[in-house]
Each structure stands twice: as structure tokens, then as C-alpha cells.
Amino acid sequence: MKRPLTVMLVAAEASGDERGAGLARALKARLGDGVRFVGVGGERMAAEGVASPFDISELSILGLLEGLLAWRKVVRRADQTAALAVREKPDVAVLIDSWGFTLRVAQRLRRALPGVPLIKYVGPQVWASRPGRARTLAGTVDHLLSIHRFDAPYFEAAGLPVTFVGDATLALDFSQADPQRLRRQVGAGPDDPILLVLPGSRPSEIARVLPPFRDAVDRLKVERSDLRVVVVAAPTVADAVQAEVAGWSHRAHVTTTEAEKLDAMRAATVALACSGTVTTQLALAGCPMVVGYRLAPLTHALLKLLIRTRYITLTNIAAQDFVSPEFIQEDCEGRKLAEAVAQRLDDADLRARQVAAQYAALEKMGRGGPDPSAVAAHAVAEIVGRA
């Protein structure tokens, strides 16, 4: 009898935790008792058998200054992750998103365990900025599992084999979502408008994005007493979000579970969302959205010199149009956000047009294809000879 395949999965933020959990489920469905997991992840991966040695919320970092301040912590956790690999001797390591952290982990694994195949799951967005990262990745890992069809040429030109698996977010299952259950929870009647607020999953996002979102909510509530507000608190920042929202002058319902989040996405009239994976989820739910984002000033100034795309939201990138309005940096302020949300609350035709355009963008992104987690599991099994 073959010994179980030992798979190391490493994720450092909420979206990676979701992808890692999906991959673990798909590998278990494929290999049954013939697979065991080790690695680093969050609550969702833990539920699938990946016992993380530390809390990944401290690695959810975005921005130049934040990265420099957290450098020692990132290095320490990368060393700890490599030590876990040396102890557990995985047959393969899958490093999910989180460019800065997983690159350091890959470099350490390559030195410590040179025979172990290293797979990067989600490549850096070299089509948007810093194309040199393709060469860096090609010199560090053995294979890339890509979530975008347009990734392959950039990485293959650098000598890195690429398998397109698709974006697991596009396979998100809303079949059990119940918008009426959410309405009952928040005391909303069948015609009462609901604003869903999604302030991000990183501490820096909560610090920079939630204040203008709160200002927008305050402005909207002045003239809309019937507006119900629901705030999504990602597991990585749940305590911080709940503490902030508890001090709001207007009552808001905070959701902390995946089931409640999906109910809210289906129930919401409009969403006010921090740029990230949730914007694709909202598009799948048929929820029109307004997108906001803020970075540290220095990080933003540098990125303006590097970014080669006009858009930050994936559905907008796919559509090559501002399907969902984006308010970035100084434009991410309460008045502008409130005006964009109010337009959508007041205009059902505008909401319908936006939802249709979001759906069209999702088709371009590959919605309706094979389950990405299953495709990724097949690729991993093939790479290690267990297909």
C-alpha cells in the first residue's frame, strides 16, 4: 500500500485560505485516505485538516511601508514554515498567492528540500506591474497554477510551465444562500433597501478603507431611515471590524460567517466594497457594487509609476471598462462614495444594467467552466505522479 501523499499548503491571507481549503477538499475527493496535509493557513484550511503553526492574520500585509515594518516578522514566519517542511517532509508544496511571503518560503524550501516540487498557485499580476517578477518566480518554483487565461505567455516566456486552472471564486456556490433569512435577521421588510459594506480582510484595509465607508454610511442614513446596513467581517479582521462598527452612530448588523456573507450578497440592494476577491463574489451574486480602496501615500505614489492598467477590479479589467465605479486614494471619501451608492439605490434600471455588465465580464473570466479546485488538484496529482 502506498504511503499517503503529504501535501504542504501555504496561504497567508483570507482569499488564499479559501483557495487552499478548496484545493484540500478536491485532493481528498481525488485521493481519499491517500493524502495528508501540513502547512500554513486560516480557519477554512484548518477545517480541511491543515493545522497552521501560527495565526496568518499578522501576514496579511499590503503596502511598501507596512512591508518594511513587518519584514522581520515575515522572515521569522518564513523560517518557521520552512522548518515545518523539513520536519514533515512533504512530497509537494503548494504556495498560494501572497507574493512576498510565499516567495521567501519558496526560496527556503528550495535550499532545505531541493527535491520537493514547488508549485505556485496564483501568480503575481505581472500584466499590471513589475513584469520582472515572472523571471524571479521562474527561478524559484517548478510550476504555476494560473487563475487567469492571460497569465501564461508572461511566465512561459521566462521558462516557467503554467497550467490554467481558473479562478475558484467563479465556482462559488450560492445555491444554499437565502436572502430572506438575512432580511429577517436584520429586521428588513421585503422592499427595504440593504447596503452591504465589505471593508477588506487586511488590518491596513480596515484602518484606511473603513473610515470613509463609515462616512458614506452616515451620509446615506441621514435621508434614508429605512436603509439597513450589513457589514462583512472577514475572519482575519473580525475583532477589529466588530469593535469599529460597535461605535457607529447608526446601527449595523455584522456578519462573521461564510453562510451569512453569501445570504447578504444575495439580499443586498447595493454593496460598498474594498477591492479584492469579494468584488468577483458580489458580481456572481448579482449585486451591483461601488468599489473603494486606499493605500499608504508612498506605496500609492510608487505604484502609479509601475501600474500598467487603468482598473483594479477584476470584472472591470475583464470588461476593459468601469462596469463598477472605482474610487481610489483621495477619491475614496465619504461624499463621493455615498453619491455613487445613492444613485444605485434610487435607480433600479442602473442596477440592472450594472448587474448585466458584471455578468458579461464574468463570462470573459471563465465562469461556467470546470471546477478550478478540481483542475488544480488534478494538476498537483499529475506533477507528483499520482494522477
Is the pLDDT confidence value at 64 over 60? no
> Tell me: the pLDDT tens digits for 212-235?
999 999 999 998 989 999 999 998
| 171 inside domain | no
pLDDT at 70: 64
229 and 160 in a common domain: no
109 and 219 in a common domain: no
> Tell me: the pLDDT tens digits for 2-28?
688 999 999 998 889 999 999 999 999
pLDDT at 310: 80
151 and 49 in a common domain: yes
pLDDT at 268: 98
161 and 26 in a common domain: yes
Mean pLDDT over 176-200 rounds to 95
CB-based contacts of 263, cutoff 8 Å, min separation 6: 177, 178, 179, 181, 182, 255
pLDDT at 57: 79
Task: Identify the residue whose cell numbers are 501555504.
Answer: 10
The residue segments making up the domain with residue 331 are 179-365
pLDDT at 67: 54
268 and 132 in a common domain: no
pLDDT at 331: 95
CB 158 within 8 A of CB 141: no
156 and 17 in a common domain: yes
Is the pLDDT confidence value at 363 over 60? yes
Phi, psi angles (nearest 5°) of residue 325: -65, 140
246 and 298 in a common domain: yes
Using the Cα atoms of residue 148, residue 29, residue 173 and residue 214 in order, give the sign of their dihedral.
Answer: negative
Phi, psi angles (nearest 5°) of residue 272: -115, 110
Number of structural domains found in the chain:
2
Judged by average pLDDT, the poorest of 46-50, 310-314, 317-321 is 310-314
> Tell me: the pLDDT tens digits for 190-213?
889 999 999 998 888 999 999 999
Q: How many CA atoms lie within 13 A of 116 on its CB side?
A: 28
378 and 338 in a common domain: no
Mean pLDDT over 241-256 rounds to 94
DSSP H helices, the chain, are 14-31, 43-47, 64-69, 71-88, 99-112, 133-138, 152-156, 179-186, 203-223, 238-246, 258-267, 277-285, 297-306, 314-319, 334-346, 348-365, 372-383
129 and 207 in a common domain: no
| 174 inside domain | no
Q: What is the band of 236 on the pLDDT scale with cuts at 50, 70, 90?
A: confident
Enumerate long-range contacts of 304-310, CB under 8 Å, 24 or more apart. Answer: 306/129, 306/130, 307/128, 307/129, 308/127, 308/128, 308/129, 309/127, 309/128
Cα(100)–Cα(106) distance, integer angstroms: 10
- In eight-state DSSP terms, residue 4 is P
Q: What is the band of 41 on the pLDDT scale with cuts at 50, 70, 90?
A: very high
User: What percent of the chain has a predicted confidence (pLDDT) above 70?
Assistant: 92
What is the value of pTM for the model shown?
A: 0.77
194 and 90 in a common domain: no
Task: Identify the residue whose cell numbers are 449585486.
Answer: 287
pLDDT at 202: 86
pLDDT at 301: 58
User: What percent of the chain has a predicted confidence (pLDDT) above 90?
Assistant: 72
pLDDT at 303: 60
Amino acid at site 65 = L
Cα(340)–Cα(324) distance, integer angstroms: 10
pLDDT at 280: 95
| 319 inside domain | yes
Q: What are the strands of the beta sheet with 289-293, ordered from one edge?
A: 253-255, 228-232, 194-198, 270-274, 289-293, 326-328
pLDDT at 131: 84
Q: What is the band of 29 on the pLDDT scale with cuts at 50, 70, 90?
A: very high
What cell was used for 14? 483570507
pLDDT at 112: 96
pLDDT at 69: 56
CATH code for position 344 = 3.40.50.2000
Cα(89)–Cα(147) distance, integer angstroms: 28
